[in-house]
Structure 1
């Protein structure tokens, strides 16, 4: 799920040295925009069904939290919170239904939900 709908949509970095990535030359000092949603749907990494949301998909090398020296400090906390949320909701999850309009947060950094009314059917 984290691969499919990450919180941060993109990040900007500055190349510290000349590099070639998949045939594209990036010069030292050049700014690069990393689009996490695009990287997390790369068919070379995730297969022909990379666009599909599958709860049963096994652990995968998604970039939702970044990687290496720039990995999100809250990654482990977010994984724990997500697991606890679904454990708590699992008894009623099949009976939850949308009960009104979803209000989204407007942001240039990432999508979000401000309000999502639900009810147990």
Structure 2
């Protein structure tokens, strides 16, 4: 039992140091002379929909995909469109609906739907 716990910890709970540089207020963005803002919040730009409650459904995978697609669309098109999480849960057939799923599989399904 201890061996399995050690294996699980080594594979899934291992922390790796990040090499991302620390934020410095007033530092410039690479390639520009413009300094970074002290505060930036996408909610102020009206490109994020409200927080949704998934209730008893294990559909966090669908909620996150829909939220990302909504925001990317709003940033690109300058219009925030609220999309249907339920459609992704119901129609992304390679996932398990409210019993779990994969964001990668949902994005793959969405990509196929948009190309068709």
Identify the TM-score tier after normalising by the shorter chain.
under 0.3
Higher strand proportion (structure 1 or 2): 1
> Normalising by structure 1, what TM-score?
0.20
Determine which structure has more spread, i.e. the larger CA radius of gyration: 2
Higher helix proportion (structure 1 or 2): 2
